[in-house]
Structure 1
Amino acid sequence: MTKPRILMAGESWTVHSIHQKGFDSFTTTEYAEGGGHLIAALEAAGWDVTYQPAHVAARDFPDTAEALGAFDVVLLSDIGANTLLLHPDTFARAEARPDRLASIRDYVAAGGGLIMVGGYLTFQGIDAKAQYAGSPVEEALPVTFSRHDDRVECPAGVTAELAMPGHPMLEGVSGDWPALLGYNRAQARDGAEIVATAGGDPLLVAGTHGKGRGVAFASDCGPHWAPPSFVEWSGYAALWANMAGWAAGRIG
């Protein structure tokens, strides 16, 4: 049996630091990726995961809905709209290229699955820099975004409350959810299924767009909003496998 395929884009960053020591200074650069727990959970559930860190997705993310059709699900996590809009050939060489946000929307309308995971550069994000509000990708999701910074920082922790405990995405997700440290505030569309909330706001939302399905998870898949207690939680793997399965139309 052919494995279901998921394309995951984002969850990478580079930190450039300046170390000032009196008169002298030097710089260091560190590259990191934050999707390891999620990728491991999906692969353990039988998914074939194609992972594109943000700098790779900038050039290699598929251009068209037809190309995206090679995947059962597209997952965006902590990757801003500009990374997908501004292909290097467009930004550096002024070449016209397909609008990849519109391609994602059209892929879902044709029957594909889409998952957006929250973070500083998804939903609307820090300083509103993720810029998905009003975009074609927003059209394919079961939530709408504000035009401002939509982060809700919860350093003391916020615990999910299940609004639809019998939903297929919660099958096998047992026990209390560990606290999260923040999320993006969004509004559920009319007719969408609010599966879980956090702080009174939608946390896990499911809906349809055309022939396809969209899922919004308003918090993180890894540190820092998802602390070690969350990514090491016994329900973590089942939750993400179910999200992917539901988005692909394989369950529910």
Structure 2
Amino acid sequence: MTKRILVAGESWTVHSIHQKGFDSFTTTEYAEGVRWLKAALEKGGWEVTYQPSHVAAREFPFTPEELAQYDCVVLSDIGANTLLLHPDTFSRSKPLPNRLHAIRDYVANGGGFVMVGGYLTFQGIDAKGQYAGSGAEEALPVTLMRADDRVETPQGIAPRVSQASHPIVAGLESDWPDLLGYNKVSAKPGATLVAQVGDDPLIVAGEIGKGRGVAFTSDCGPHWAPPPFVEWTGYDRLWTQIADWAAGKI
């Protein structure tokens, strides 16, 4: 049976000003950071539908029924405003369904949901992720801060498995490469702390209604997940097992 997953986010545009004495010019570059995650999921048998942030703004599903075509939904480094403020709502004042409520109801009805950390997920830089108090937080096994929740660890911090019996970390009990940062959250009562960084959660898993939610508080690619992490032999297995567990496949 085909396993279908929707991944939204992991894209950005950089607009740079180059000043050279009297003169200046600008350049614009579009980039995506999804390739490691996408490749890992595909190796694990998942059919991946990928929506970069600018595509998700318009095309991310509006209802739990539309989301139900997927076994799992992943948000990675995409702020709540991108999903709340559809262009027709922001520019034309057109009422449309709340897509974070759709995620909440999709999970409550049996769907799988994964949030991956970054500067614009959980709360993120300057709290601009804005998921605290939203339907997405209701679909997660963690409680979010109401402030900038980043913990930058440029010196590196080693993940540590907390619940070795959990299917998400089967075969991955030790020797994880360092990460360079994460979002600080707290596990909800009844959730399982699967792995941590220092004293803080890295992976939290929990039952949400009839469905399942997983929080992975660091990144799936640079910069918080440096080359040794994305090239780690356990990387593909980790992400496949996260998605499989969230979707109720293991």
TM-score (norm 2): 0.99
CA distance in 2, matches of 1:109, 1:248: 12
- Superposed CA deviations along residues 145-168 of structure 1, whole A, max 9, x for unmatched, are 011000000000000111101210
Q: Percent identity?
A: 68
What corresponds to 1:13 in structure 2?
12
What corresponds to 2:101 in structure 1?
102
CA distance in 2, matches of 1:174, 1:29: 42
How many pairs are equivalent? 250
2:161/2:174 contact within 8 Å kept: no
SS in structure 2 at match of 1:83: helix
SS in structure 2 at match of 1:123: coil
Q: Runs of 4+ in structure 1 displaced over 3 angstroms?
A: none
1:212-227 matches, cutoff 5 A: 212-227=211-226
SS in structure 2 at match of 1:178: coil
Q: Which ranges in structure 2 are unaligned for 5 or more consecutive residues?
A: none
State the shift of 1:174 in Å.
5.5
1:140/1:208 contact within 8 Å kept: no
Q: Which ranges in structure 1 are unaligned for 5 or more consecutive residues?
A: none
What corresponds to 1:139 in structure 2?
138
1:197/1:204 contact within 8 Å kept: yes
What corresponds to 2:189 in structure 1?
190
1:177 aligns with 2:176: yes
2:7/2:76 contact within 8 Å kept: yes
2:164/2:173 contact within 8 Å kept: no
State the shift of 1:172 in Å.
2.6
CA distance in 1, matches of 2:116, 2:165: 22
CA distance in 2, matches of 1:47, 1:41: 9
CA distance in 2, matches of 1:233, 1:175: 12
Instruction: Please give the root-mean-square deviation of Cα atoms over the aligned residues, in Å.
Output: 0.7
1:4 partner letter:
K
SS in structure 1 at match of 2:39: helix
SS in structure 1 at match of 2:237: helix
State the shift of 1:175 in Å.
4.4
1:201-240 matches, cutoff 5 A: 201-240=200-239
What corresponds to 1:87 in structure 2?
86
1:42-191 matches, cutoff 5 A: 42-173=41-172, 175-191=174-190
1:230 partner letter:
F
2:205/2:214 contact within 8 Å kept: yes
Which of 162-171 and 220-229 deviates more? 162-171
